[in-house]
Amino acid sequence: MSNKRTIRVVELFAGVGGFRIGLEGASDAYETIWNNQWEPSTRHQDASLVYQARFGRKGHSNKDINLVPTTDIPDHDLLVGGFPCQDYSVAATLSKSGGIEGKKGVLWWQIYRILDEKGDKRPQYIFFENVDRLVNSPATQRGRDFAIILASLADLGYIVEWRIINAADYGMPQRRRRTYIVGYQKNSVVAQKMEHMDDWVEYDGIMAKAFEFKAKPGTLSEFDIEGTIREVSANFNKEKRLSPFGNAGMIKDRHVYSVDADPVYDGPRQTLGGNLVDENLVPEEFFISAEDLPKWQYEKGAKKINRVSKEGYQYVFSEGGMAFPDYLDQPSRTIITGEGGTAPSRFKHVVKTKSGRYRRLLPIELERLNMFPDNHTYHPEVTDGRRAFLMGNALVCGIVEQIGKFLYSFIYDEAPVSSNPIFSNRDAKPMLDLGLFDDENKVLMVNRPKKQYTLDKAKHLLIGLVKKNNEEYFLKEEPAKIYYTGKTKSFPSTVAINKLYYFMPYIKEKGVRDLYLIRVARIGSKAEIHPNSQDEDPRLVFELEYLESLPEYVMLPLTRYWFKDTLLGRIIK
């Protein structure tokens, strides 16, 4: 490694950058110099779009990693990645888990290929994440997949430690269990600090320092993984019911030491309720209607259903009830990829608001439960449903941050410093951050009106309060208007600007009447119309074209934030 406090990082299977956020939150020394994100079998590369929007295009690869030559990947100090786990995910039954031999499990061998082909230039350190089931898969040969991974890394000269960590056990806002793997070359600074495997696993190692635990009595497992990788694949733990791997352990020179860990933590704890936004900022589409509520209650409830198998056998399918609504004073349940969309579902989160209404979670709230920055996945080309999918595939950044801190301190023997730490305090009234649009050169949205039009009740409508000194301007019958919001830092960030289509001015003591089409949404300032004001603070500017008016003014419960995001159909019905 270089003498400067720089740890060059390559991020594989990068998703939307969870490893990068966590590591940069741990120390400014972590510098991601190259990253790869490719989602097979899909034309729209949502995660890649988000990654580039947040971190830039430099060093980003949106190609199938199978087709990327190792020579195209720069030399680095730390290789990280949450390699795909679909074949043995908790979303599938164990009996159907294809394991490391499944379609996506083979991507593990791309990690191996890169490490192997780097030769004496392979990274000193590795850091991976996968589902907790990894140590038990596949169902027919418990622990075989993990044994292959550990043995192949040991053969490349790495000492490897692992922990299965539930983020909520250490105060984080989501119950998400994942396997974390950290390795270091035998000639590395970190490896020189290890003396005894048992002490390293339970007290002295990176994982033990980052996430304290107590070993469960009677769970010690110590053994060697023998034979070639092919022999390990064919014979490891064959015909045995249980995996020999505990949820904490390490391997050195093919010798394994592992135990089961009970977490030890007495610090602050985050909850689902502590990461929600104010009800007044929630777009109407996320609320569950009275008509649909019984469908959600059914999906969440206990049930027994008579079914017939393909072979014609009758059986009873049963499942227990789930909390409905979700508990606000506890960490959330695990976010899954199917979290988005309006269809009732057993697994989607539903919360009850102070007003008594039920609603789904916003993308910004799902981001918070994974400890991402607010609106990290916001992108004009990425839908709310896909944003939820991306969070279902993501990791909890706080876990990476904590491990990253101790990896740094073990390397440099000093405490890490970061200018981008992950903060746990969340604002219930998140406002627009123009930093999201620093690289955006075009207007946010342009709608070209037609001479003849048909109102689309499913389109989003923004209702904005008109200040007293502008009421006369908006009461005049003119074909075009311009509406300036207050300063952007007071504009709710839960309003998806790329979805806005219609606008209605709200006149105090009258309500709404006139309907406009939003032709352009852009950034402007008060100085555009009042040069003498010298007010250059950025504001949202909506260039409007008049469409029609309601028969009379309608009073609406406009929030104290001056804006209401709703659907046109809810107003004109």
**Active site positions, annotated:** 85
Rg (CA), the chain: 27
Residue in the block written with tokens 């391997």: 251
Q: Using CB atoms within 10 A of its CB, is residue 153 exposed (0-12), middle (13-18) or buried (19+)? A: buried
Alpha carbon 200 to chain centroid, angstroms = 31
Helix (H) or strand (E) holding 60: strand 60-61
In 10 A of CB 155, how many CB atoms? Answer: 15
Strand pairing report for 350-352 and 158-166: unpaired
| C-alpha torsion 253→254→257→259, nearest 10 | 140
Q: Using CB atoms within 10 A of its CB, is residue 11 exposed (0-12), middle (13-18) or buried (19+)? A: buried
Q: Using CB atoms within 10 A of its CB, is residue 487 exposed (0-12), middle (13-18) or buried (19+)? A: middle
Residues 6+ apart with CB under 8 A from 186: 157, 158, 159
Q: From CA 399, how far away is CA 370, in angstroms rounded?
A: 10
Q: From CA 19, how far away is CA 25, in angstroms rounded?
A: 10
Q: From CA 147, how far away is CA 144, in angstroms rounded?
A: 5
- Contact assessment for residue 388 and residue 340, using Cβ atoms and an 8 Å cutoff: yes
Q: Is the peptide bond before 138 cis (omega within 30 degrees of 0)?
A: yes
Q: From CA 348, how far away is CA 345, in angstroms rounded?
A: 6
**With left for phi above 0 and alpha for psi between -120 and 50, is residue 64 left, alpha or beta?**
beta
Which residues in 128-138 are b (16+ Cβ under 10 Å) and which e?
A: bbbbbbbbbbb
Per DSSP, the three-state class of 502 is: strand
Residue in the block written with tokens 């994440």: 129
Q: Which amino acid is at 396?
A: V
